[in-house]
Amino acid sequence: MAEQDKAPLPTPQRIGIREFRGNLPGYLRQVRQGSSFLVTSRGEVVALVQPPQPPAPPHRRPGTLRGKIRMTADFDTLPDDVLSLMENGGL
């Protein structure tokens, strides 16, 4: 998915550590539903609690397909009908 296709993330709600600790099951339920929280202690952010991010796609190893892909001899040659359309402004 392209960066511009991603929806903006909502701003995490700030909550005090005592409030968070006192209502932990409720806050975790909200996190499962997609909410995020900044946990503060004396006004200072000490933790960000958010849903886990999806796993990154597996890392591609360069050279894995070496020798397995073949291109035909005319790979970079356009067919005559397509070339004539391009030269005459048909496309």
pTM of the predicted protein model: 0.52
Q: Is residue 75, in this structure, part of any structural domain at all?
A: no
Question: What residue type is 67 in one-letter code?
Answer: G
Split into its structural domains, the chain has a count of: 1
Q: Is residue 89, in this structure, part of any structural domain at all?
A: no
Cα(20)–Cα(27) distance, integer angstroms:
7
Q: Is residue 34, in this structure, part of any structural domain at all?
A: yes
Q: Is residue 26, in this structure, part of any structural domain at all?
A: yes
Whole domain around residue 45: which residue ranges? 8-51
Cα(20)–Cα(46) distance, integer angstroms:
12
Q: Look at residue 87 in the predicted model and tell me its pLDDT.
A: 86
Q: Look at residue 1 in the predicted model and tell me its pLDDT.
A: 47
CA 48, 50, 52, 54 torsion-angle sign: negative
The CATH number that applies at residue 20 is: 3.40.1620.10
Per-residue pLDDT of the chain (91 residues; tens, 9 = 90+): 445 555 566 789 999 999 999 999 999 999 999 999 999 999 999 999 999 988 888 888 888 888 888 888 888 888 888 888 888 876 5
